[in-house]
Amino acid sequence: MKNGEIGILLFSIFIVAICGIIYELIIAGVSSYLLGDSITQFSLVIGFFMSAMGFGSYLSKFLKNNLLECFVIVEIVIGLVGGFSALVLFYAFGFTSSYHIFMFLFIIIIGVMVGLEIPILMRILKEYEELRIALANVLSFDYIGALFGSIAFPLILLPRFGLIKTSLLIGVLNILVACIIYYQYRQKLIKSGLFLTVLILILLSLIVGLWFSNQAERFLEQRLYRDKIIFMKQTPYQKIVLTKGKNDFRLFINGNLQFSSYDEYRYHEALVHPPMIFSYRHDRVLVLGGGDGLAVRELLRYPDVEQIILVDLDEVITKLATENKYFVKLNGGSLSDSRVQIINEDAYQFLLKTDELYNVILVDLPDPNNENLNKLYTSQFYYLLKKHLTPDGAIAVQSTSPYFAPLAFWSIVETIKDAGLKVYPYHVYVPSFGDWGFTLATRREIDFKKFQLPFKMRYLNEENFAAMFSFGEDILAYRKMVEPNRISHPVLLRYYEEGWKHW
């Protein structure tokens, strides 16, 4: 075997290592998107994938002859199974009740094949190189390839192509590597013609899948939503879906409902007006999250608001809320108001960098359903909020449902209290969400007898405003069961999953 032929085999290891880690991330990503609880999904996928690789390495000892043919077969199987993995998983979730069976089947097949690959290649190479050199070359190319794949997936492939198209593209890459190996070593393959036919058929099927991937993705995604999808985009941070029914416009992020135009006013009146009523001044307002502009719409009803700083990580959301006709109709063009400044940045990093003080701070972030969002529900984060709040100001934090996830709700309340703020939990019924919770927080005590609604609202009046701060005994009973949520001890993730898994 010439040096060039050895180089081709090592290059194939590099490429397949890229493909293997990306397939692993795709399966974990699809599972997190469809099932939630990303820590559990990634842990399961990584654990079973590594175990399957170990089993594949064990099985390799039974392969004694025709190692080049075995290697080509491994490449073909990885490309075929991995390439269609995301498509099949979305189909399994939408049309069957056997998602986990498909998920583990993909993990095991791909893991076993990847586990077979390295021992087979090492045995091929050791006939032409010393064992120490073959071992060093194979493992180094494998590990470097895994690094490239783990970087390329979140930074380039996922935001640009999404999950389904990425898996098909990587499948094509896998099969192209198999084609190169076939061409280079076709004289040494016993069933050369059969291999060529199989390679061509699989490559064509993956290319056809790529050609129709947009239609397939929209069809499969539509199975997850009641109304027609009018916009869908995977950004570097999240999957955004807009749906439009006869009288309803909805925003979903990573499959989770963010608002329904039918009743969002209840949520946003409850979020915005309590802190505005109990803050002495409204000159400067900070909104963290809320890129849909609906909270800003309510804020602009106050004539003494001079400046609103809206900090939302995802530019796609704020651009949609500024330009999309359904958004603009719903938010009243609030994000185009001259008093509004939009900053697309992580809320935590923004608070670390700014020295400004605000009269009112609204925290309108998605629920803490993953580790990235968890840091925005910690005592450290709320301590930063306190630092940027004027002495007579007020904060409101959306705090998930006190009915569906009571432990999570009270943990958020206790975490804000742990940061040194006075807390006043409250809740409101939003038909599309159910009973939904918030936390009002200040540096000082609030006298609830001295409140007055500044103007007529669609939902809030003096009677139901006061009632929002009252809870039933069944909900209050959970308050003593929780701990504050900290970066070093993220109990909120567990509370949240325990609550919502029943619904």
Helices (H), 37-130: 38-59, 67-83, 85-95, 99-125
- The pLDDT of residue 101 is above 60: yes
Q: Which residue has the tokens 């080049």?
A: 68
Q: Residues with Cβ < 8 Å from 71, sequence gap 6 or more?
A: 9, 117, 120, 121, 124, 181
| Residue 37: predicted pLDDT | 76
Average pLDDT over every residue of 268-277: 97
Residue 68 confidence class, pLDDT cut points 50, 70, 90: confident
| Residue 50: predicted pLDDT | 95
d(CA 396, CA 468): 13
| Residue 129: predicted pLDDT | 64
d(CA 334, CA 297): 5
Burial of 114 (0-12, 13-18, 19+ CB in 10 A): buried
Average pLDDT over every residue of 454-467: 94
The annotation status of 37 as a binding-site residue, yes or no, is no
Residue 2 confidence class, pLDDT cut points 50, 70, 90: low
Structure tokens at 447: 């006298």
| Residue 1: predicted pLDDT | 52
Which CATH code, of 3.40.50.720, 3.10.105.10, 3.40.50.150, 3.40.50.300, is assigned to 264-446+454-501? 3.40.50.150
- The pLDDT of residue 491 is above 80: yes
Average pLDDT over every residue of 401-425: 97
**364 given a catalytic annotation:** yes
User: Which amino acid is present at 278?
Assistant: F
d(CA 440, CA 442): 7
Residue 128 confidence class, pLDDT cut points 50, 70, 90: low
Helices (H), 96-235: 99-125, 131-152, 158-185, 192-211, 213-222
CA-wise closest residue to 498 among 14, 36, 34: 36
The annotation status of 435 as a binding-site residue, yes or no, is no
Q: How many CB atoms lie within 10 A of CB 501?
A: 11
| Residue 201: predicted pLDDT | 95
Residue range(s) of every CATH 3.40.50.150 domain in the chain: 264-446+454-501
Residue range(s) of every CATH 1.20.1250 domain in the chain: 1-222
Average pLDDT over every residue of 436-465: 93
| Residue 3: predicted pLDDT | 58
Which DSSP helix (H) or strand (E) runs through 340? strand 340-343
- The pLDDT of residue 271 is above 70: yes
Structure tokens at 116: 């077979």
Q: Which residue has the tokens 């009915």?
A: 403
Catalytic, out of 364, 367, 435, 474: 364
**Which class is 1-222 in CATH?**
mainly alpha
Global confidence as pTM: 0.84
d(CA 112, CA 101): 16
- The pLDDT of residue 354 is above 60: yes
pLDDT digits (tens, 9 = 90+) for 278-306: 999 999 999 999 999 999 999 999 999 99
- The pLDDT of residue 487 is above 60: yes
d(CA 113, CA 464): 62
Kindly give the interhelix angle for 67-83 and 99-125, rounded to the nearest 10 degrees: 150
Lowest mean pLDDT across 43-52, 57-66, 234-243: 57-66
Average pLDDT over every residue of 369-384: 92
Average pLDDT over every residue of 326-335: 97
**Spacing of C-alpha 336 from chain mean position:** 28
The annotation status of 467 as a binding-site residue, yes or no, is no
| Residue 411: predicted pLDDT | 98
The average confidence (pLDDT) of the chain is 92
d(CA 199, CA 348): 49
The annotation status of 312 as a binding-site residue, yes or no, is yes
- The pLDDT of residue 458 is above 90: yes
- The pLDDT of residue 188 is above 80: no
Lowest mean pLDDT across 77-91, 345-359, 396-410, 448-462: 448-462
